[in-house]
Amino acid sequence: MKLTRSVFWLLPIAALALPLLVNPYHQYVVNLILVYVVVGVGFNIVVGNLGQLAFSNVAFFGIGAYASAIFTTQLGIPWWLTVIPAGVVGAIAGCAASIPALRGVRLFYLAIMTLAFGELMRWSYIRTPALTGGSMGLTVPPAELFGWVLESETQKFYVFLVIVVVIVVAVSRILESRIGRAFLSIKNDERAAAAMAVPTGRYFVLAFALSGFVVGIGGSMYAALVGHLSPEAFDLVQLILHFAIIMVGGLGSLVGSILGAVLITATPELFRDWPGFEELMFGIVIVIVILFLPRGLASLLARVHPIFKDRYLRED
């Protein structure tokens, strides 16, 4: 029987049964993995597909999380109605983050500017206590969906699963279209992309906005999952986590974003009972994967069967 890509649908269908097999704590870890799948998918658009060394991801993540929390606590809007607006706020932040790149800032210069953006946002969360609770943080009331309170991890899991599926399908459609090709053209040779009538400036803004939208939604999910936001959750360690997800998974690969999120989120949890080991194992896993699979876990899966070959994962 010839396998087609429709077998990917088996993954979320099989995942439906997951809550039957895991305890609430493990369910929480699985939910966190789903948050990081969304974060990885969004981050990869700018880094893996557009090829820009831009680290504004934590800013988008924090902005999405705080936007969702503020809409819920200050305006009394139910959480599920804040998911898309959190994405929109993330997209606006994405447009702002694309300005240095539009001005021709590239590589390490872009990296440091976008890092500064993330730190500026963290400073803003601390300095606006009326909105964000300042350094004390902000408690997010339990998410509500049509009067159904998302209190248990299982309930959150099903809602998150739907969000992840919608985002993965939507981003995959965009990346496999002329828009995705335009992103990769810019990554490969910006001058040649413009010579092919690709309006490169517009595609920079689009990629950053799309990334901000997706990661903003990830932030909204994170707010609903952890229930309490504090500025230190959006620091450089968070960025290292995001970067590790896409590097370990495979730059530019959707499948890689999923695999990277699973491995990077689950590894420290597996060693939680041995204090000190979680950080050590986190580092060891990154080193081993990058050393032996420089194109990430996605390249390993691609060897198993061609259908796992991400269209935009290039193997050397």
Partner 1 sequence: MALLEITGASVQFGGLTAVNEVSFQAEPGEVRALIGPNGAGKTSLFKAIAGEEPLSAGTIRFQGAPIHDLTPHEISARGVRRTFQNGGLFGELTALENILAGLHTRIPSSFGGLLLGTRAAKTAEKNGTRKARALLEMMGIPHVADQWARDLSGGQQRMVEIVRALATDPPLLLLDEPAVGLAPPARAELMKIIRRLVEEENIAVILIEHAIEFVMTVCDTLMVLNNGELIAEGPPEEVRRNREVLEAYLGR
Judged by the rule CB under 8 A, the positions of this chain that interact with partner 1 are: 170, 173-174, 177-179, 181-182, 184-185, 187-189, 191-200, 312, 314
Q: In angstroms, what is the minimal distance from the CB of 33 to partner 1?
A: 25
Of 113 and 193, nearer to partner 1 (C-beta) is: 193
The phi and psi torsions of 209 (rounded to 5 degrees) equal -65, -45
Contacts of 17 (CB under 8 A, 6+ apart): none
Cα–Cα distance for residue pair 253/302, rounded to 1 Å:
11
Of 174 and 226, nearer to partner 1 (C-beta) is: 174
The first and second tokens of residue 19, run together, are 């809550």
Of 62 and 94, nearer to partner 1 (C-beta) is: 94
Identity of residue 139: T
3-state secondary structure of 145: strand
Of 44 and 265, nearer to partner 1 (C-beta) is: 44
Q: In angstroms, what is the minimal distance from the CB of 180 to partner 1?
A: 9
Q: In angstroms, what is the minimal distance from the CB of 308 to partner 1?
A: 18
Cα–Cα distance for residue pair 94/74, rounded to 1 Å:
24
Closest CA to 250 of 1, 49, 38, 21: 49
Of 184 and 215, nearer to partner 1 (C-beta) is: 184
Q: In angstroms, what is the minimal distance from the CB of 173 to partner 1?
A: 6
Q: In angstroms, what is the minimal distance from the CB of 235 to partner 1?
A: 33
Q: In angstroms, what is the minimal distance from the CB of 50 to partner 1?
A: 12
The first and second tokens of residue 254, run together, are 């959707």
| 289 exposure class (CB count in 10 Å sphere: 0-12, 13-18, 19+) | buried
Of 187 and 242, nearer to partner 1 (C-beta) is: 187
Cα–Cα distance for residue pair 307/302, rounded to 1 Å:
7
The phi and psi torsions of 252 (rounded to 5 degrees) equal 80, 5
